Amino acid sequence: MVAKMAGLLRAVGAAEPAGASTTDLARAAGLTRPTAHRILTSLAAEGLIDRASDTGRWSLGPELYLLGAAAGNRYDIIDHAREVLDELSRATGESAFLSARRGDETVCVLTQDGSFPLRSHVLHEGKRFPLGVASAGLAILSHLPEREVADYFARADLEPAWGPAHGEDAIRARIRSTLTTGYAVNPALIVEGSWGMGAAVFDRGGRPAWALSLTGVETRFRPERHEELGNLLLEHAHTLSTRLQARK
The pTM (predicted TM-score) of the whole model is: 0.73
Contacts of 43 by beta carbon, 8 Å cutoff, 6+ apart: 5, 8, 9, 49, 61
Peptide bond into 164 cis (omega under 30): no
Domain span at residue 124 reads: 77-246
CA-only gyration radius of the chain, Å: 18
E-assigned strands of 93-228?
95-102, 105-112, 128-130, 184-186, 194-202, 208-217
Run of H or E including 60: strand 58-60
pLDDT in tens, 124-149: 788 889 999 999 999 999 999 999 99
Shared-domain flag, residues 115 and 202: yes
Same domain, 177 and 91: yes
For the segment 60-87, what is each residue's pLDDT rounded down to a tens digit?
Answer: 888 876 676 666 555 567 878 899 999 9
Co-location of 37 and 131 in the same domain: no
What is the pLDDT of the chain when averaged over all its residues? Answer: 88
pLDDT at 12 over 70: yes
Stronger pLDDT, 177 or 205, i.e. the higher one: 177
Cβ 198 vs Cβ 183: under 8 Å: yes
- 44 and 105 housed in the same domain: no
**38: CATH:** 1.10.10.10
Our count of domains for the chain comes to 2
